[in-house]
Amino acid sequence: MAIAALVPGALLGWVVYEAVGGGGGAEHPAAAPASRTSAASSGASGNSASPTGSAAADAKGQSAAGPLAGKVVVIDPGHNPGNFRHTTEINRQVDIGTNKKECDTTGTSTNDGYTEARFTLDVAHRLRTLLEKQGATVKMTRDGNSPAWGPCVDERARFGNNARADAAISIHADGSAEGDRGFHVILPGSVHAGAADTRKIIKPSTDLGTRIADKFQRDTGEPPSNYVGKGTGLVTRTDLGGLNLSTVPKVFIECGNMRDSKDAALLTSGAWRQKAAQGMSDGIVSFLRES
Which pLDDT belongs to residue 36? Answer: 28
Residue 91 falls inside a structural domain: yes
Domain total for the chain? 1
Which pairing describes strands 167-174 and 137-140: parallel, antiparallel, or unpaired?
Answer: unpaired
Kindly give the parts of the chain with pLDDT less than 50: 3-51, 54-63
Residue 1 falls inside a structural domain: no
In angstroms, the CA 63 to CA 65 distance is 7
Which pLDDT belongs to residue 173? Answer: 98
Residue 219 falls inside a structural domain: yes
Whether residue 52 contacts residue 139, with contact meaning beta carbons closer than 8 Å, is answered with yes
Residue 37 falls inside a structural domain: yes
Residue 252 falls inside a structural domain: yes
In angstroms, the CA 66 to CA 76 distance is 23
In angstroms, the CA 232 to CA 197 distance is 26
Residue 93 falls inside a structural domain: yes
Collapsing DSSP to helix, strand or coil, 58 comes out as coil
Type and span of the H or E element at 153: helix 153-162
Which distant-in-sequence residues (6+ apart) come within 8 Å of 271 by Cβ? 24
Whether residue 153 contacts residue 237, with contact meaning beta carbons closer than 8 Å, is answered with no
CATH number at residue 149: 3.40.630.40
Which pLDDT belongs to residue 52? Answer: 54
Residue 2 falls inside a structural domain: no
In angstroms, the CA 51 to CA 142 distance is 8
Residue 143 falls inside a structural domain: yes
Query: What residue numbers bound the domain in which 51 lies?
Result: 8-290
Query: What is the set of active-site residues?
Result: 254
Which pLDDT belongs to residue 22? Answer: 37
